[in-house]
Structure 1
Amino acid sequence: MRFTQGLYGYAVALFVCLAGAGVFLLVTPQSREEHIPRLDYSITVANFGHTVPYGVWSPQQDPADWVPNSNRIAKGENGAAVLYLGYATAKREHAMFAQSNEQPAAGFASRMANTDKATGTQQVGGVAWEQRFREDKNQRSLVRVLPDVTLVITGTADWAELGELAARLQQRPQG
């Protein structure tokens, strides 16, 4: 009987393969830390400011332990420019800030919030933001419609975290 034949040979080959995989896993470095890519949005905000006829809103400073992880400028309905800033919050939920002068403003707000139903208001820095909640997506949204722009903060983050981002928003001078 040869070593490579029969059940005994199969068992030895299987053991050698499993031992090799075990050694590989032991010597391969493994990180237990999460890695969320951090993306600077300052250039995107500046570029957006050059394309719109109003002062752009953006966070004066990011909330503590939040990671800005996406940003882009896109075309919304009727060709209006839309700025998106995405975050992983301190509780590692998702939050996104969007703004546009798209008309009608109610349509933009409803599209960003995935609902047109207001559920209440939230005071942030003495300013009332409309709350919207879409239960099936666990999506909370804060909406503020201004004469020249609509601001929406939305995501799976809780109301307090969304309010924290809203409190940091500041309008930059036009141009």
Structure 2
Amino acid sequence: MRLTQTFYGYVVAMLVCLAGVGVFLLMTPQSRTEHIPKREYTITVANFNRAVPYKVWRPSQDPAGWIANSNRIADGSAGAKVLYLGFATAKREHAMFAQSGEQPAAGFGNRMANSDKSIGTEQINGQPWDKRFREDKKQRTLIRTLPGVTLVVTGTADWPELTQLAASLQELPKPS
């Protein structure tokens, strides 16, 4: 008589299989530590600064506990270049800084915010930033429009974290 021809035989076969899976799981190395890839953005910002005719901005330093985890230069609307710098915040939310010389500036800001509805302004380092919030995406956005360039700080991070990133931005000199 075969082992699996009775109910008890099936139970024994299942227990043997589960024991094998348990041994496999115990022997497989598992990491319990968080791993967020770090991506240095200094060279990307320098390349962007050489590629565009307007002044470029970047964080003077990453806020404490934040990890820069993405950066890229992309072609935006009407051939305008766009710089994207992504971060995992200290609270492990997402924040991104983007800038572009796209005209009209409102189009870039609206696309980055996924909204054209302002909910007010925020004074950061004495400068007004337009605030946007998109409830369904839990996306908060700060937008500052300057002559020739639009700066956007956006993400799922809370307002104090986004404000911290916006406050860290500094204008870079153009390379000679």
Shorter chain as denominator, the TM-score bin is over 0.9
Which residue does the alignment assign to 1:165?
Answer: 165
1:80 positional shift? 0.2
**Are positions 1:102 and 2:102 aligned together?**
yes
Aligned identity (percent) is 69
> What CA distance in whole angstroms lies between the structure 2 residues aligned with 1:8 and 1:42?
66
Question: How many residues are matched?
Answer: 175
Deviates more, 1:95-104 or 1:134-143: 134-143
- Aligned-residue CA RMSD (Å): 1.2
Which residue does the alignment assign to 2:113?
Answer: 113
| Alignment TM-score, normalising by the size of structure 2 | 0.94
* CA deviation map 1:63-122 (0-9, x unaligned): 011111111111111110000001111111111100000000011111111111111111
Structure 1: runs of 5 or more not aligned: none
Structure 2: runs of 5 or more not aligned: none
Runs of 4+ in 1 over 6 A off after TM superposition: none
> What CA distance in whole angstroms lies between the structure 1 residues aligned with 2:145 and 2:101?
10
Provide the secondary structure at the position in 1 that maps to 2:95: strand
> Residue type of the partner of 2:140?
R
| Alignment TM-score, normalising by the size of structure 1 | 0.95
Q: How does 1:1-175 map to 2 (within 5 A)?
A: 1-3=1-3, 5-175=5-175
1:27 positional shift? 2.0
> What CA distance in whole angstroms lies between the structure 1 residues aligned with 2:169 and 2:41?
14
> What CA distance in whole angstroms lies between the structure 2 residues aligned with 1:3 and 1:74?
63
> Residue type of the partner of 2:27?
V
> Residue type of the partner of 1:11?
V
